[in-house]
Amino acid sequence: MNPFASSSLHPSTPSTTDPYTVVFIVPTGIGAAIGGYAGDALPVARAIAQIADRLITHPNVMNGAQLYWPMPNSLYVEGYGLDQFAAGHWGLQPVRQNRVGLVLDQGIEPDLRLRHVQAADAARATLGLQITDYMVTDQPLGVELRTAASGATWGTIQNPGSLLRAVDRLMTTARAEAIAVVARFPDDAGSDALQDYRHGQGVDPLAGAEAVISHLVVRTFHIPCAHAPALSPLPPDPEVSPRSAAEELGYTFLPCVLVGLSRAPQFVTSQHASLTGRSPTSAIWANQVNAVVIPETACGGSALLSFSQSQAEIIAVGNNTTAMKASPDQLMIPVRRVQSYIEALGVLVSHKAGIHLAALDPHLSHLKPLA
Amino acid sequence: MTKDAMNRVDISTNQGHPGPPDWTLADAETVSTLFLSLTVPLQRSPKDLRDRVESMLRSHGEPLRWAITSVDTAQQTVQVEAVVTQGRWTS
């Protein structure tokens, strides 16, 4: 089956002949026990991709700094685009390859900038990616980090206009079709938050600000975008957690971003008019989604609130704990609760096969006359 | 602000940066990002809640990223953390 084939342009509900489509979400910057560190939800994504005909997921799941695992049936969709997709405003148009434009923060020191340019050159030479000449922002972006009362991390940037000017130039002059942004993030090597993160505890101190940067680009230009932070190398630490270790491997976190963006779907509008000039005939829409997998305590995002109104089976995973306290019952969202991703995989297999889960339980009750 | 708008608002902003001395008027037309936290009444459906959150955020700017971080079932409210943008981008 062609995972990106579509039986109709904008069907009302998924049919049994449609590709089985799963959305896998682990929100960034909320301290998810699985997926809160360095691409450590990627094994779950790989497992889901064995069941699903199409897997729709986002950079926080797929990005492991210099580690990545491209999957031909996966769609790499930035969080703002995922929210718009879930709301039915935007469709996803699969592509063979995007021309990726690279934005480098003026605040990055020359040696560190060189490392990132070389990472992009390596992706061209070794992986065959198409990457345009890069843009350095006309001002330092001025990333500021924040941890909110909930424990989630957020961030703001002092010069968002400078970021948007650089993206605009890459799109108009270099004809970039997707945007990788590298912003200089504050070094805070001695902070408790960073030490906790390296040791596989607490909340990623950078993640919330990263999402704000990519959301701004996607919202403004309707183009795939992802972010990699530029940071000074940290001293070796034997206590680094395996879940965080992917970010200890080199000088940049850029390779996974370039790989993801190189095949990220383009966005099309619900009016069937392409935002990018591409034909939307094989675009994927929210009402073709069969299942959504989410940490149980993180049901308060825009995408999940939107999906809760659809026909999709929402699978809430209990043991992927987070700093959030937004459970589905409190928000009146009907879900199927499972304890683990291993259990979620079983639910997906049964759902795809059209097997009622009750039949897999030894205690199957008798039918009764309908009252 | 309406009665059932936010009970508690915590806002911080990065507005007011001076910019380089050679800025033109067009360059000065910048976007700024703003973090805020607010309390929103629970609604009858998740979709209504999503729409209500975004509506309340729009009184501060254009919603960029937000999440319901906790639910107070006794008070029938949710706590929201968000980043909105202010100002307008013109290429």
Nearest chain A Cα to B73, which residue? Answer: A330
Cβ–Cβ gap A142/B66 under 8 Å = no
Average pLDDT over residues A258-287: 78
pLDDT tens figures, A332-353: 999 999 999 999 999 999 999 9
| Residue reference for tokens 């001076």 | B18
- pLDDT band for position B33 (cuts 50, 70, 90): confident
Tell me, what's the pLDDT at B6?
Answer: 29
Instruction: Determine contact: B2 vs chain A, CB below 8 A.
Output: no
CB nearest to A325's CB, from B69, B83, B91: B69
Residue A62 — φ and ψ, nearest 5°? -90, -20
Q: Is the pLDDT of residue A18 over 90?
A: no
The rounded percent of chain A whose pLDDT value lies above 70 is 92
Mean pLDDT, chain A, integer? 91
The minimum CA-CA distance between B1 and chain A, rounded to whole Å, is: 23
Rounded CA gap, B63 and B71, in Å?
20
Mean pLDDT of A268-295: 77
Band (pLDDT 50/70/90 cuts) for residue A16 is low
Q: Are A16 and A354 within 8 A, CB to CB?
A: yes
CB contact under 8 A, B35 and A146: yes
Reported as a pLDDT band with limits 50, 70 and 90, residue A248 is confident
Q: Do B50 and A300 touch (CB under 8 A)?
A: no
B72, pLDDT greater than 60? yes
Residue of A28, A62, A40 whose CA lies nearest to A255: A62
| pTM, 2 dp | 0.89
Strand partners, B78: B40, B71
Q: Greater confidence, A202 or A276? A: A202
Which of B49, B64, B91 minimises the CB distance to A215? Answer: B64
Q: Does A303 touch chain B (CB under 8 A)?
A: no
Q: What is the pLDDT of residue A371?
A: 85
Does A354 have pLDDT greater than 90?
yes
Which residues of chain A make contact with B12, given a CB cutoff of 8 A? 146, 156
| pLDDT score of A25 | 98
Select the residue from A163, A221, A332 to test the B interface by mutation, using most B Cβ atoms within 10 A: A332
The answer to whether A146 contacts B34, with C-beta atoms less than 8 Å apart, is: no
Q: Is the pLDDT of residue B80 over 70?
A: yes
Cα B29 to chain centroid, rounded: 20
Q: Does B78 touch chain A (CB under 8 A)?
A: yes
How close, in Å, is residue B34 to chain A by CA atoms? 7
Find residue B10's DSSP bridge partners: B37
Q: How far is B2 from chain A (nearest CA, A)?
A: 23
Of A107-121, A184-198, A285-299, the range with the lowest mean pLDDT is A184-198
Q: Give tens-digit pLDDT for A58-87.
A: 999 999 999 999 999 999 999 999 999 999
The confidence score (pLDDT) of residue A192 equals 85
Per-residue pLDDT, A146: 84
pLDDT digits (tens, 9 = 90+) for A119-172: 999 999 999 999 999 999 999 999 988 889 999 988 888 999 999 999 999 999
B78 with A326: Cβ contact below 8 A? yes
pLDDT of residue B32: 87
Is B9 touching A (CB cutoff 8 A)? Answer: no
Residue A322's nearest CA partner among A293, A298, A292, A294 is: A298
Other Cβ atoms within 10 Å of B28 Cβ, number: 10
Write down the pLDDT at residue A281.
65
- What 8-state DSSP symbol labels residue A98? -
Q: CA A282, CA A206: separation in Å to the nearest integer?
A: 36
Number of H helices, E strands in chain A: 10, 14
pLDDT at position A26 is 97
The residues, ordered by sequence, that sit 6+ positions from B69 with a Cβ below 8 Å of its Cβ are A148, A149, A150, A152, A300, A323, A324, A325, A326, B79, B80, B81
Residue B58 forms contact with A (CB below 8 Å)? no
Q: A36 versus B28: which is more confidently predicted?
A: A36
User: Is B33 close to A160, i.e. CB distance below 8 A?
Assistant: yes
Q: Which of A35-39, A186-190, A217-221 has the lowest mean pLDDT?
A: A186-190
Task: Give residue-wise pLDDT tens across range B49-65.
Answer: 999 999 999 999 999 99
Residue A304 DSSP SS3: helix
Examine the pLDDT at A189 and tell me if it is beyond 80: no
What span, in angstroms and rounded, lies between the C-alpha atoms of B91 and A177? 17
Average pLDDT estimate for A178-197: 88
Question: Is B66 an interface residue toward A (CB < 8 Å)?
Answer: yes
pLDDT at A351: 97
